[in-house]
Amino acid sequence: MSSSEFSLRLATEPVVYATLEEIAREGARRALQKAIEDEVAEYVNAHQDHLDDAGHRLVVRNGHKPARTILSGLGPMEVKQPRVDDRRLDENGVRFRFTSKILPPYLRKTKTIEDLVPWLYLKGISTGEMSDALVHLGFDGSGLSPASVTRMTESWQGEYADWNKRDLTGKHYVYVWADGIYFGCRLTDDRPCVLVLMGATADGTKELIAIHDGQRESQTSWLEVLTGLKDRGLIEPPKLATGDGSLGFWLAMAQSFPATQQQRCWVHKTANVLDKLPKGQQPAAKAMLHEVWMSATREDAVKAFDRFIEVYGVKWPQTADCLLKDRAQLLAFYDFPAEHWQHLRTSNPIESTFATVRLRTYRTKGAGSRKAGLAMAFKLAQKAQTGWRKLNGSAMLQDLIDGIVFVDGERKAA
């Protein structure tokens, strides 16, 4: 029964004919609908000062998306997600995109409470509040006691521990992406970062390889990750690794897989370079950097690179030095198929996946809390992994494995 049919029934028939289940489900649906409407209104209002040249807002409401059904413990609930027209552009010229934190895409077909509890936990809902939170989202949380939530999180910790011991014999990741993620969720001060490693297999499938607690810029922490992977059978070196230049990952990678080429993330590098320029200079500098990594050939990229150094190197030498120190690593992607460039130039595969995991902004102290936080991040990443798409031009990965050389994204003539 749709919400309109339900409302009409209540208006034309005695309330006694509406079951308690229908009343509870409609109440939950209305609460959820109001919550996502308020979330969008807050997002739009927060960006009301962003205007185009004509003085029009760049972030506005734009009706609703088609209604979708949320499968809850009380049955199906139909809600409409407000549509946001966000015309702002990021440093790569890509439009910003509003994503609801209340109703993430991977929850649209939630069938079990287990799909929702990790998200609520990282959002900051305690075990004691979990039942009430689930009820407000349309689940029957009456039997979900704090003790049962604790048992559930403990079982996920066991899954995470088993996953960290899985056999990797025969695995071959052609590409890997590395980053250090600061979740802010149940972490301690001495090891505040979660190290994440993702990879692309020979058929283009993206997989989560490792989630490990450690220090983002610590070679020792990254070496612990890579050594553990090798001990479990991951022997074949990746062809290319992408990550932020400040990571201790690179020293550890050179020690563990010296044959792997290095690609610096252009998003991180752009932010670091612009940070060393006056704000008034940043828009033009960003456009010049964009011209470098969007060039069709390495030769054109080098020319654009040199123009940037010439323009900004005299007045702002720190800016030039920041770019120059990773020159070779920033242009490494030109030795790989052009179809893969958009995947290789940034560590965005990790950033986009874990954006919704960075939900808690305070630390919860207590024994075992860090293990629980890591297990929740693992469960969310596992869920997100089911929606990852393969690399463009996946068939060319076998060419790389076979040793075929690529120049400016194309196969080198024999």
pLDDT, tens digit, 9 for 90 and up, residues 233-258: 999 999 999 999 877 899 999 999 99
Rounded CA gap, 251 and 228, in Å? 16
Percent of the chain past pLDDT 90, that is, above it, reads 43
Residue 193 is predicted with a pLDDT of: 78
Residue 8 is predicted with a pLDDT of: 52
> Rounded to 10 degrees, what is the CA torsion of 266, 190, 199, 299?
20
- pLDDT exceeds 80 at position 55: yes
Q: Using alpha carbons, select from 181, 175, 116 the residue that is nearest to residue 352.
A: 181
Residue 137 is predicted with a pLDDT of: 58
- pLDDT exceeds 50 at position 16: no
- pLDDT exceeds 70 at position 145: no
The residue that leads in pLDDT, 146 or 100, is 100
Q: What is the pTM of this model?
A: 0.67
Rounded CA gap, 325 and 260, in Å? 19
Q: What is the mean pLDDT of residues 262-282?
A: 94
Rounded CA gap, 81 and 69, in Å? 11
Q: Which two tokens stand for residue 258?
A: 């010296």
Least confident of 113-117, 247-251, 376-380, 384-388: 113-117
Least confident of 96-110, 248-262, 329-343: 96-110
Which position has the token pair 């075929």? 404
The residue that leads in pLDDT, 289 or 245, is 289
- pLDDT exceeds 80 at position 171: yes
Kindly indicate the confidence band of residue 78, based on its pLDDT and cuts at 50, 70 and 90. confident
Residue 14 is predicted with a pLDDT of: 47
Q: What is the mean pLDDT of the chain?
A: 81
Least confident of 2-11, 239-248, 290-299: 2-11
Q: What are phi and psi of 30, to 5 degrees?
A: -65, -40
